Structure 1
Amino acid sequence: MEKKIKKSIIIFSFISIFCGWLGVLIDMVLTEQPKGNSLGMLVWLVSPLITAVLIRIFMKDSLRSLGLNPNFKSNLKWYIISFLIFPLITIFILAIGVITKWVDISMFNFTDFTVTFLGTFVMYFIKNIFEELAWRGFLTERLIKLKCSDRKIYSIVAGVWLLWHVPYYLFFLSGNNINGSGIKLLFWPAITLGCWIVMFSELYRITRSIWPCVILHAVINSLVVINDYISIKVGKGILVSYDTGIISLVICICIGIFIRNYRIEKTIDQTKLFEYNT
Protein backbone atom coordinates (compact mmCIF):
# COMPACT_ATOMS: atom_id res chain seq x y z
CA MET A 1 0.00 0.00 0.00
CA GLU A 2 2.86 2.37 0.82
CA LYS A 3 4.36 1.87 -2.65
CA LYS A 4 0.99 2.64 -4.26
CA ILE A 5 0.69 5.87 -2.30
CA LYS A 6 4.21 6.95 -3.27
CA LYS A 7 3.51 6.11 -6.89
CA SER A 8 0.26 8.11 -6.80
CA ILE A 9 2.14 11.13 -5.41
CA ILE A 10 4.73 10.96 -8.19
CA ILE A 11 2.05 10.59 -10.89
CA PHE A 12 -0.02 13.44 -9.45
CA SER A 13 2.98 15.76 -9.20
CA PHE A 14 4.25 15.02 -12.71
CA ILE A 15 0.88 15.40 -14.44
CA SER A 16 -0.01 18.57 -12.51
CA ILE A 17 3.26 20.27 -13.44
CA PHE A 18 3.21 18.98 -17.04
CA CYS A 19 -0.37 20.12 -17.69
CA GLY A 20 0.52 23.66 -16.65
CA TRP A 21 3.01 23.82 -19.51
CA LEU A 22 0.51 22.08 -21.76
CA GLY A 23 -1.81 24.97 -21.00
CA VAL A 24 0.91 27.44 -21.99
CA LEU A 25 1.34 25.60 -25.31
CA ILE A 26 -2.43 25.68 -25.92
CA ASP A 27 -2.49 29.45 -25.41
CA MET A 28 0.45 29.90 -27.76
CA VAL A 29 -1.54 28.13 -30.47
CA LEU A 30 -4.91 29.72 -29.66
CA THR A 31 -3.82 33.33 -29.45
CA GLU A 32 -7.25 34.98 -29.74
CA GLN A 33 -8.43 34.41 -26.16
CA PRO A 34 -9.35 36.76 -23.30
CA LYS A 35 -6.48 37.32 -20.90
CA GLY A 36 -7.04 35.55 -17.60
CA ASN A 37 -9.79 33.31 -18.99
CA SER A 38 -7.98 31.24 -21.58
CA LEU A 39 -8.36 27.54 -22.32
CA GLY A 40 -4.73 27.00 -21.33
CA MET A 41 -5.31 28.58 -17.93
CA LEU A 42 -8.36 26.36 -17.43
CA VAL A 43 -6.25 23.28 -18.22
CA TRP A 44 -3.63 24.48 -15.74
CA LEU A 45 -6.22 25.06 -13.00
CA VAL A 46 -8.29 21.86 -13.23
CA SER A 47 -5.64 19.28 -14.17
CA PRO A 48 -4.41 18.64 -10.57
CA LEU A 49 -7.96 18.00 -9.32
CA ILE A 50 -8.88 15.79 -12.28
CA THR A 51 -5.67 13.83 -11.75
CA ALA A 52 -6.38 13.45 -8.03
CA VAL A 53 -9.94 12.24 -8.65
CA LEU A 54 -8.84 9.73 -11.32
CA ILE A 55 -6.12 8.36 -9.02
CA ARG A 56 -8.66 8.00 -6.21
CA ILE A 57 -11.06 6.14 -8.52
CA PHE A 58 -8.31 3.91 -9.89
CA MET A 59 -7.13 3.06 -6.36
CA LYS A 60 -10.77 2.54 -5.29
CA ASP A 61 -10.53 5.20 -2.58
CA SER A 62 -13.54 7.16 -1.44
CA LEU A 63 -13.68 10.66 -2.91
CA ARG A 64 -14.86 11.86 0.51
CA SER A 65 -11.31 11.34 1.72
CA LEU A 66 -10.35 14.40 -0.35
CA GLY A 67 -11.46 16.48 2.64
CA LEU A 68 -14.93 17.34 1.36
CA ASN A 69 -16.59 16.78 4.74
CA PRO A 70 -16.89 20.25 6.34
CA ASN A 71 -16.79 18.90 9.92
CA PHE A 72 -18.61 22.04 11.11
CA LYS A 73 -19.54 20.72 14.53
CA SER A 74 -16.02 20.53 15.91
CA ASN A 75 -14.36 23.18 13.74
CA LEU A 76 -16.58 26.28 13.73
CA LYS A 77 -13.87 28.37 15.39
CA TRP A 78 -11.38 27.41 12.67
CA TYR A 79 -13.82 28.55 9.98
CA ILE A 80 -14.10 31.91 11.71
CA ILE A 81 -10.33 32.12 12.13
CA SER A 82 -9.70 31.21 8.49
CA PHE A 83 -11.91 34.11 7.38
CA LEU A 84 -10.45 36.64 9.82
CA ILE A 85 -6.71 35.88 9.60
CA PHE A 86 -5.91 38.12 6.64
CA PRO A 87 -8.36 40.95 7.33
CA LEU A 88 -6.77 41.29 10.79
CA ILE A 89 -3.26 41.07 9.32
CA THR A 90 -4.22 43.73 6.77
CA ILE A 91 -5.64 46.07 9.42
CA PHE A 92 -2.48 45.63 11.52
CA ILE A 93 -0.20 46.33 8.55
CA LEU A 94 -2.26 49.34 7.43
CA ALA A 95 -1.98 50.75 10.95
CA ILE A 96 1.81 50.42 10.76
CA GLY A 97 1.75 51.97 7.30
CA VAL A 98 -0.31 54.96 8.43
CA ILE A 99 1.86 55.55 11.52
CA THR A 100 5.07 55.41 9.46
CA LYS A 101 3.44 57.33 6.59
CA TRP A 102 4.30 54.49 4.21
CA VAL A 103 0.63 53.96 3.33
CA ASP A 104 -1.97 56.54 2.30
CA ILE A 105 -5.57 55.46 3.05
CA SER A 106 -7.25 58.78 2.26
CA MET A 107 -8.98 57.22 -0.79
CA PHE A 108 -10.35 54.28 1.20
CA ASN A 109 -14.13 53.85 1.10
CA PHE A 110 -15.31 51.04 3.36
CA THR A 111 -18.67 50.49 1.64
CA ASP A 112 -17.24 50.34 -1.89
CA PHE A 113 -14.38 48.16 -0.74
CA THR A 114 -16.69 45.70 1.05
CA VAL A 115 -18.99 45.30 -1.98
CA THR A 116 -16.04 44.75 -4.32
CA PHE A 117 -14.35 42.36 -1.89
CA LEU A 118 -17.45 40.19 -1.43
CA GLY A 119 -18.05 39.96 -5.17
CA THR A 120 -14.45 38.94 -5.76
CA PHE A 121 -14.57 36.51 -2.84
CA VAL A 122 -17.35 34.45 -4.46
CA MET A 123 -15.31 34.07 -7.66
CA TYR A 124 -12.12 33.06 -5.83
CA PHE A 125 -14.01 30.74 -3.48
CA ILE A 126 -15.12 28.66 -6.48
CA LYS A 127 -11.65 28.76 -8.06
CA ASN A 128 -9.89 27.70 -4.87
CA ILE A 129 -12.07 24.62 -4.40
CA PHE A 130 -10.14 23.13 -7.33
CA GLU A 131 -6.79 24.13 -5.83
CA GLU A 132 -7.40 23.07 -2.23
CA LEU A 133 -8.92 19.70 -3.18
CA ALA A 134 -5.69 18.94 -5.03
CA TRP A 135 -2.99 20.33 -2.71
CA ARG A 136 -4.57 19.73 0.67
CA GLY A 137 -7.25 17.11 0.05
CA PHE A 138 -5.02 14.90 -2.08
CA LEU A 139 -1.29 15.64 -1.83
CA THR A 140 -1.14 16.63 1.84
CA GLU A 141 -3.46 13.75 2.77
CA ARG A 142 -1.32 11.26 0.84
CA LEU A 143 1.80 12.40 2.69
CA ILE A 144 0.00 12.17 6.04
CA LYS A 145 -0.92 8.57 5.22
CA LEU A 146 2.76 7.86 4.55
CA LYS A 147 3.44 9.21 8.06
CA CYS A 148 5.90 11.75 6.72
CA SER A 149 7.40 14.23 9.14
CA ASP A 150 5.84 17.68 9.27
CA ARG A 151 8.92 19.21 7.66
CA LYS A 152 8.77 16.72 4.80
CA ILE A 153 5.07 17.39 4.22
CA TYR A 154 5.65 21.14 4.10
CA SER A 155 8.65 20.80 1.77
CA ILE A 156 7.05 18.43 -0.73
CA VAL A 157 3.71 20.23 -0.94
CA ALA A 158 5.37 23.66 -1.18
CA GLY A 159 7.77 22.42 -3.85
CA VAL A 160 5.13 20.85 -6.10
CA TRP A 161 2.71 23.74 -5.43
CA LEU A 162 5.38 26.23 -6.53
CA LEU A 163 6.35 24.28 -9.66
CA TRP A 164 2.67 24.10 -10.60
CA HIS A 165 2.46 27.90 -10.20
CA VAL A 166 5.43 28.61 -12.49
CA PRO A 167 3.38 28.79 -15.75
CA TYR A 168 0.87 31.01 -13.96
CA TYR A 169 3.44 33.58 -12.84
CA LEU A 170 5.46 33.52 -16.06
CA PHE A 171 2.65 33.36 -18.61
CA PHE A 172 -0.98 33.36 -17.44
CA LEU A 173 -0.55 36.21 -14.95
CA SER A 174 2.27 38.34 -16.31
CA GLY A 175 2.37 37.36 -19.98
CA ASN A 176 6.16 37.24 -19.73
CA ASN A 177 8.32 34.79 -21.61
CA ILE A 178 11.00 32.81 -19.80
CA ASN A 179 13.83 35.34 -19.64
CA GLY A 180 15.88 37.06 -16.96
CA SER A 181 13.08 39.32 -15.74
CA GLY A 182 10.55 36.47 -15.88
CA ILE A 183 12.68 34.19 -13.73
CA LYS A 184 13.03 36.98 -11.15
CA LEU A 185 9.24 37.03 -10.85
CA LEU A 186 9.41 33.58 -9.26
CA PHE A 187 11.66 34.53 -6.34
CA TRP A 188 9.10 36.26 -4.13
CA PRO A 189 6.21 33.88 -4.92
CA ALA A 190 8.52 31.05 -3.85
CA ILE A 191 9.21 32.83 -0.55
CA THR A 192 5.51 33.58 -0.11
CA LEU A 193 4.32 30.01 -0.71
CA GLY A 194 7.05 28.76 1.61
CA CYS A 195 5.80 31.05 4.39
CA TRP A 196 2.15 30.14 3.80
CA ILE A 197 2.58 26.37 3.59
CA VAL A 198 2.67 25.66 7.34
CA MET A 199 -0.50 27.68 7.91
CA PHE A 200 -2.43 26.00 5.07
CA SER A 201 -1.19 22.50 5.90
CA GLU A 202 -1.94 22.79 9.60
CA LEU A 203 -5.34 24.35 9.06
CA TYR A 204 -6.25 21.31 6.96
CA ARG A 205 -4.76 18.87 9.47
CA ILE A 206 -6.50 20.36 12.50
CA THR A 207 -9.92 20.41 10.76
CA ARG A 208 -9.53 17.41 8.41
CA SER A 209 -11.42 19.49 5.85
CA ILE A 210 -10.45 21.58 2.82
CA TRP A 211 -13.15 24.20 3.39
CA PRO A 212 -11.34 26.40 5.94
CA CYS A 213 -8.39 26.43 3.53
CA VAL A 214 -10.69 27.38 0.64
CA ILE A 215 -12.00 30.29 2.71
CA LEU A 216 -8.51 31.42 3.76
CA HIS A 217 -7.24 31.20 0.18
CA ALA A 218 -10.24 33.09 -1.22
CA VAL A 219 -9.84 35.87 1.35
CA ILE A 220 -6.15 36.26 0.48
CA ASN A 221 -6.90 36.48 -3.24
CA SER A 222 -9.89 38.80 -2.80
CA LEU A 223 -8.09 41.32 -0.60
CA VAL A 224 -6.02 42.32 -3.62
CA VAL A 225 -8.82 44.81 -4.39
CA ILE A 226 -7.61 46.90 -1.45
CA ASN A 227 -4.79 48.11 -3.68
CA ASP A 228 -7.40 50.19 -5.55
CA TYR A 229 -8.22 52.08 -2.34
CA ILE A 230 -4.78 52.70 -0.81
CA SER A 231 -1.39 53.95 -1.96
CA ILE A 232 1.88 52.42 -0.76
CA LYS A 233 5.06 54.48 -0.84
CA VAL A 234 7.54 53.31 -3.47
CA GLY A 235 9.91 50.69 -2.06
CA LYS A 236 7.82 50.00 1.05
CA GLY A 237 5.55 47.34 -0.45
CA ILE A 238 8.10 44.67 0.39
CA LEU A 239 7.39 45.46 4.05
CA VAL A 240 3.72 46.45 4.18
CA SER A 241 2.03 44.54 1.36
CA TYR A 242 -0.94 42.76 2.95
CA ASP A 243 -0.10 39.35 1.45
CA THR A 244 3.53 39.23 0.33
CA GLY A 245 5.13 41.85 2.55
CA ILE A 246 7.73 40.72 5.08
CA ILE A 247 5.55 41.67 8.06
CA SER A 248 2.62 39.65 6.71
CA LEU A 249 4.78 36.61 5.92
CA VAL A 250 6.36 36.57 9.39
CA ILE A 251 2.89 36.68 10.95
CA CYS A 252 1.75 33.81 8.69
CA ILE A 253 4.68 31.66 9.81
CA CYS A 254 3.84 32.36 13.46
CA ILE A 255 0.17 31.49 12.89
CA GLY A 256 1.14 28.24 11.17
CA ILE A 257 3.45 27.26 14.03
CA PHE A 258 0.73 28.13 16.56
CA ILE A 259 -1.84 25.90 14.81
CA ARG A 260 0.74 23.09 14.57
CA ASN A 261 1.51 23.28 18.29
CA TYR A 262 -2.21 23.36 19.09
CA ARG A 263 -2.80 20.28 16.94
CA ILE A 264 0.04 18.37 18.60
CA GLU A 265 -1.14 19.28 22.12
CA LYS A 266 -4.69 18.28 21.19
CA THR A 267 -3.45 14.92 19.87
CA ILE A 268 -1.48 14.30 23.06
CA ASP A 269 -4.50 15.16 25.22
CA GLN A 270 -6.74 12.83 23.22
CA THR A 271 -4.17 10.02 23.54
CA LYS A 272 -3.98 10.48 27.31
CA LEU A 273 -7.78 10.47 27.56
CA PHE A 274 -7.97 7.28 25.52
CA GLU A 275 -5.34 5.59 27.70
CA TYR A 276 -7.17 6.73 30.85
CA ASN A 277 -10.52 5.39 29.63
CA THR A 278 -9.01 2.02 28.71
Structure 2
Amino acid sequence: PPPPPSPPCPALTRSAAIVIIGDELLSGKVTDVNSGFLCRELHHLGWRVRRILTIPDTADEIADAIRSLMSYNELVITAGGVGPTLDDVTVGAVARALDRPVTRSRILEDRIHKFFGSATTEAHLKLADTPADAELIEVMGGDGLPSPFAAVKCENVIILPGVPQFLQSKWPFVARCLKKPGELAPFHNVALRLGLQDEAALAAALEKVADELGGPAADVRLGSYPVSNQLDGAAIVVTVDGKDEARVRAAAVALRKWMPAAAVINELTDVESIDQTQPGGEEGRK
Protein backbone atom coordinates (compact mmCIF):
# COMPACT_ATOMS: atom_id res chain seq x y z
CA PRO A 1 0.00 0.00 0.00
CA PRO A 2 1.12 3.61 -0.49
CA PRO A 3 2.49 5.52 2.53
CA PRO A 4 -0.18 6.96 4.83
CA PRO A 5 -1.24 10.57 4.14
CA SER A 6 0.65 13.38 5.81
CA PRO A 7 -0.83 14.31 9.21
CA PRO A 8 -2.79 17.58 9.40
CA CYS A 9 -0.32 19.11 11.90
CA PRO A 10 3.15 17.79 11.02
CA ALA A 11 5.99 18.35 13.46
CA LEU A 12 7.54 21.76 12.97
CA THR A 13 10.89 22.06 11.28
CA ARG A 14 13.09 25.08 11.84
CA SER A 15 15.49 26.25 9.16
CA ALA A 16 19.18 26.97 9.60
CA ALA A 17 22.09 28.19 7.49
CA ILE A 18 25.83 27.83 8.08
CA VAL A 19 28.52 30.30 7.06
CA ILE A 20 32.04 28.84 7.02
CA ILE A 21 34.64 31.61 6.98
CA GLY A 22 38.30 31.49 6.03
CA ASP A 23 40.70 32.18 3.17
CA GLU A 24 42.55 29.00 4.14
CA LEU A 25 39.50 26.91 3.25
CA LEU A 26 39.02 28.47 -0.16
CA SER A 27 42.68 28.00 -1.03
CA GLY A 28 42.59 24.34 -0.02
CA LYS A 29 45.20 24.75 2.71
CA VAL A 30 42.73 23.52 5.33
CA THR A 31 39.92 20.98 4.94
CA ASP A 32 36.52 22.05 6.26
CA VAL A 33 35.15 19.67 8.89
CA ASN A 34 32.91 22.18 10.66
CA SER A 35 30.08 22.15 8.13
CA GLY A 36 29.68 18.38 8.32
CA PHE A 37 29.76 18.43 12.11
CA LEU A 38 27.21 21.25 12.34
CA CYS A 39 24.89 19.64 9.79
CA ARG A 40 24.84 16.35 11.70
CA GLU A 41 24.27 18.03 15.05
CA LEU A 42 21.56 20.39 13.83
CA HIS A 43 19.79 17.55 12.03
CA HIS A 44 19.87 15.49 15.22
CA LEU A 45 18.21 18.38 17.09
CA GLY A 46 15.47 18.62 14.44
CA TRP A 47 16.74 21.63 12.47
CA ARG A 48 16.88 21.47 8.68
CA VAL A 49 20.01 23.04 7.20
CA ARG A 50 19.06 24.85 4.00
CA ARG A 51 22.34 26.49 3.02
CA ILE A 52 26.08 26.21 3.61
CA LEU A 53 28.29 29.04 2.37
CA THR A 54 32.08 29.11 2.44
CA ILE A 55 33.39 32.65 2.10
CA PRO A 56 36.69 34.50 2.57
CA ASP A 57 37.84 36.62 5.51
CA THR A 58 36.27 39.72 3.97
CA ALA A 59 33.97 41.77 6.18
CA ASP A 60 31.72 42.98 3.35
CA GLU A 61 31.13 39.47 2.01
CA ILE A 62 30.45 38.08 5.48
CA ALA A 63 27.97 40.86 6.27
CA ASP A 64 26.18 40.47 2.93
CA ALA A 65 25.90 36.70 3.38
CA ILE A 66 24.49 37.03 6.88
CA ARG A 67 21.89 39.64 5.85
CA SER A 68 20.72 37.42 3.01
CA LEU A 69 20.56 34.20 5.04
CA MET A 70 18.82 35.86 7.99
CA SER A 71 15.96 36.87 5.73
CA TYR A 72 14.77 33.31 5.15
CA ASN A 73 16.29 31.20 7.92
CA GLU A 74 15.46 31.13 11.59
CA LEU A 75 19.09 30.52 12.54
CA VAL A 76 22.45 31.45 11.04
CA ILE A 77 25.65 29.98 12.46
CA THR A 78 29.05 31.37 11.57
CA ALA A 79 32.28 29.42 12.04
CA GLY A 80 35.63 31.14 11.80
CA GLY A 81 37.21 34.57 11.93
CA VAL A 82 36.93 35.21 15.67
CA GLY A 83 40.58 35.13 16.74
CA PRO A 84 42.93 37.94 17.78
CA THR A 85 44.60 38.75 14.44
CA LEU A 86 43.92 41.14 11.57
CA ASP A 87 42.16 38.53 9.41
CA ASP A 88 39.59 37.81 12.15
CA VAL A 89 36.78 40.11 11.04
CA THR A 90 33.64 38.09 11.71
CA VAL A 91 32.44 39.92 14.83
CA GLY A 92 32.57 43.29 13.07
CA ALA A 93 30.88 41.85 9.98
CA VAL A 94 28.03 40.36 12.03
CA ALA A 95 27.60 43.69 13.82
CA ARG A 96 27.44 45.46 10.46
CA ALA A 97 24.87 42.97 9.13
CA LEU A 98 22.70 43.64 12.19
CA ASP A 99 23.27 47.40 12.04
CA ARG A 100 24.94 47.46 15.46
CA PRO A 101 28.27 48.76 16.72
CA VAL A 102 30.96 46.49 18.12
CA THR A 103 31.32 46.77 21.89
CA ARG A 104 33.63 45.14 24.39
CA SER A 105 31.98 42.78 26.86
CA ARG A 106 33.10 43.75 30.35
CA ILE A 107 32.34 40.22 31.50
CA LEU A 108 34.62 38.64 28.91
CA GLU A 109 37.24 41.33 29.33
CA ASP A 110 37.52 40.59 33.06
CA ARG A 111 37.75 36.86 32.43
CA ILE A 112 40.45 37.32 29.78
CA HIS A 113 42.51 39.47 32.17
CA LYS A 114 42.25 36.72 34.78
CA PHE A 115 43.09 34.02 32.25
CA PHE A 116 46.19 35.66 30.72
CA GLY A 117 47.19 37.72 33.74
CA SER A 118 50.02 40.20 33.24
CA ALA A 119 50.61 38.84 29.71
CA THR A 120 47.24 40.22 28.52
CA THR A 121 47.52 42.36 25.39
CA GLU A 122 45.07 44.30 23.24
CA ALA A 123 45.10 41.36 20.84
CA HIS A 124 43.84 39.11 23.64
CA LEU A 125 41.14 41.64 24.53
CA LYS A 126 39.86 41.58 20.95
CA LEU A 127 38.38 38.23 21.96
CA ALA A 128 35.99 40.13 24.26
CA ASP A 129 34.48 42.15 21.41
CA THR A 130 30.88 41.39 20.44
CA PRO A 131 28.07 43.05 18.51
CA ALA A 132 26.26 45.45 20.86
CA ASP A 133 23.67 43.82 23.13
CA ALA A 134 24.76 40.32 22.17
CA GLU A 135 23.91 37.40 24.41
CA LEU A 136 26.72 35.28 25.83
CA ILE A 137 26.22 31.52 25.62
CA GLU A 138 28.23 30.42 28.62
CA VAL A 139 30.75 27.67 28.06
CA MET A 140 31.87 25.94 31.23
CA GLY A 141 35.53 25.04 31.63
CA GLY A 142 36.98 21.89 33.13
CA ASP A 143 37.20 23.68 36.47
CA GLY A 144 33.43 24.22 36.46
CA LEU A 145 33.80 27.97 35.92
CA PRO A 146 32.59 29.98 32.92
CA SER A 147 35.17 30.14 30.16
CA PRO A 148 36.54 33.51 28.99
CA PHE A 149 35.78 32.29 25.47
CA ALA A 150 31.99 32.16 25.39
CA ALA A 151 29.91 31.63 22.29
CA VAL A 152 28.00 34.70 21.17
CA LYS A 153 24.39 35.00 20.00
CA CYS A 154 22.96 38.14 18.46
CA GLU A 155 19.37 38.06 17.19
CA ASN A 156 19.28 34.81 15.20
CA VAL A 157 23.04 34.64 14.53
CA ILE A 158 25.39 32.47 16.59
CA ILE A 159 29.12 33.17 16.27
CA LEU A 160 31.48 30.21 16.71
CA PRO A 161 35.22 29.72 16.26
CA GLY A 162 36.66 28.07 13.17
CA VAL A 163 39.12 25.73 14.89
CA PRO A 164 37.17 22.44 14.98
CA GLN A 165 38.38 21.50 18.47
CA PHE A 166 37.15 24.80 19.90
CA LEU A 167 33.88 24.76 17.97
CA GLN A 168 33.06 21.23 19.09
CA SER A 169 33.89 21.97 22.73
CA LYS A 170 31.40 24.85 22.69
CA TRP A 171 28.68 22.95 20.84
CA PRO A 172 27.00 21.15 23.79
CA PHE A 173 26.32 24.53 25.39
CA VAL A 174 25.02 26.01 22.13
CA ALA A 175 22.85 22.95 21.48
CA ARG A 176 20.98 23.53 24.72
CA CYS A 177 19.86 26.89 23.36
CA LEU A 178 18.62 25.34 20.14
CA LYS A 179 16.43 22.60 21.53
CA LYS A 180 12.78 23.56 21.10
CA PRO A 181 10.54 21.31 23.23
CA GLY A 182 7.11 21.15 21.66
CA GLU A 183 8.37 22.95 18.55
CA LEU A 184 10.95 20.58 17.13
CA ALA A 185 10.73 16.86 16.52
CA PRO A 186 13.68 14.64 15.58
CA PHE A 187 14.24 13.38 12.07
CA HIS A 188 13.97 9.67 11.35
CA ASN A 189 15.48 7.75 8.48
CA VAL A 190 15.72 4.33 6.89
CA ALA A 191 18.81 3.37 4.89
CA LEU A 192 18.40 0.60 2.32
CA ARG A 193 21.84 -0.78 1.45
CA LEU A 194 21.83 -2.30 -2.01
CA GLY A 195 24.09 -4.65 -3.90
CA LEU A 196 23.09 -3.12 -7.23
CA GLN A 197 25.75 -1.50 -9.41
CA ASP A 198 23.36 0.25 -11.80
CA GLU A 199 21.74 3.25 -10.10
CA ALA A 200 19.50 3.79 -13.13
CA ALA A 201 17.69 0.55 -12.22
CA LEU A 202 16.26 2.41 -9.19
CA ALA A 203 14.94 5.45 -11.03
CA ALA A 204 11.43 4.12 -11.64
CA ALA A 205 10.98 2.92 -8.04
CA LEU A 206 12.14 6.25 -6.62
CA GLU A 207 9.87 8.24 -8.91
CA LYS A 208 6.88 6.00 -8.14
CA VAL A 209 7.24 6.32 -4.36
CA ALA A 210 8.06 10.04 -4.54
CA ASP A 211 4.81 10.60 -6.42
CA GLU A 212 2.91 8.61 -3.78
CA LEU A 213 4.50 10.76 -1.07
CA GLY A 214 3.41 14.00 -2.69
CA GLY A 215 6.26 14.98 -5.00
CA PRO A 216 9.22 17.30 -4.31
CA ALA A 217 7.37 19.22 -1.58
CA ALA A 218 6.60 16.08 0.46
CA ASP A 219 7.53 15.87 4.13
CA VAL A 220 9.42 12.62 3.46
CA ARG A 221 12.50 12.81 1.25
CA LEU A 222 14.18 10.12 -0.82
CA GLY A 223 17.82 9.97 -1.88
CA SER A 224 20.06 7.57 -3.78
CA TYR A 225 23.84 7.57 -3.24
CA PRO A 226 26.52 5.41 -4.89
CA VAL A 227 29.14 4.21 -2.39
CA SER A 228 32.34 2.18 -2.59
CA ASN A 229 34.60 0.03 -0.42
CA GLN A 230 31.75 -0.82 1.95
CA LEU A 231 32.19 -3.65 4.42
CA ASP A 232 28.89 -5.24 3.47
CA GLY A 233 29.48 -4.93 -0.26
CA ALA A 234 26.83 -2.29 -0.81
CA ALA A 235 27.24 -0.21 -3.96
CA ILE A 236 24.23 2.08 -3.52
CA VAL A 237 22.43 3.38 -0.44
CA VAL A 238 18.86 4.64 -0.72
CA THR A 239 17.64 6.77 2.17
CA VAL A 240 14.22 7.83 3.36
CA ASP A 241 14.13 10.85 5.71
CA GLY A 242 11.37 12.67 7.53
CA LYS A 243 9.88 13.59 10.88
CA ASP A 244 6.85 11.31 10.75
CA GLU A 245 8.35 7.92 11.63
CA ALA A 246 5.35 5.96 10.38
CA ARG A 247 5.49 7.62 6.96
CA VAL A 248 9.25 7.10 6.73
CA ARG A 249 8.93 3.38 7.44
CA ALA A 250 5.95 3.00 5.11
CA ALA A 251 7.87 4.70 2.32
CA ALA A 252 10.77 2.28 2.84
CA VAL A 253 8.35 -0.66 2.55
CA ALA A 254 6.94 0.81 -0.65
CA LEU A 255 10.43 1.26 -2.08
CA ARG A 256 11.34 -2.36 -1.44
CA LYS A 257 8.20 -3.42 -3.25
CA TRP A 258 9.22 -1.54 -6.41
CA MET A 259 12.92 -2.39 -6.33
CA PRO A 260 14.54 -5.28 -8.23
CA ALA A 261 14.23 -8.57 -6.35
CA ALA A 262 16.91 -9.28 -3.74
CA ALA A 263 18.47 -5.85 -4.25
CA VAL A 264 18.55 -5.00 -0.53
CA ILE A 265 21.53 -6.33 1.41
CA ASN A 266 20.58 -4.64 4.67
CA GLU A 267 18.11 -2.15 6.10
CA LEU A 268 19.15 0.21 8.91
CA THR A 269 17.22 2.86 10.81
CA ASP A 270 18.15 6.29 12.14
CA VAL A 271 21.71 6.22 10.83
CA GLU A 272 24.08 9.17 11.14
CA SER A 273 26.13 8.25 8.07
CA ILE A 274 25.69 6.07 5.01
CA ASP A 275 29.39 5.23 5.04
CA GLN A 276 30.30 1.78 6.31
CA THR A 277 33.96 1.52 5.35
CA GLN A 278 35.05 0.75 8.92
CA PRO A 279 33.54 -1.49 11.59
CA GLY A 280 30.83 0.45 13.41
CA GLY A 281 30.89 3.16 10.76
CA GLU A 282 27.13 3.10 10.42
CA GLU A 283 24.92 2.49 13.42
CA GLY A 284 21.34 3.22 14.21
CA ARG A 285 20.77 5.98 16.73
CA LYS A 286 18.36 4.43 19.23
| TM-score (normalizing by structure 2) | 0.25
Higher relative contact order (CA 8 A, sep 6+): 1
More strand by share: 2
Of Structure 1 and Structure 2, which has the larger fraction of its residues in helix?
A: 1
* Greater C-alpha Rg: 2
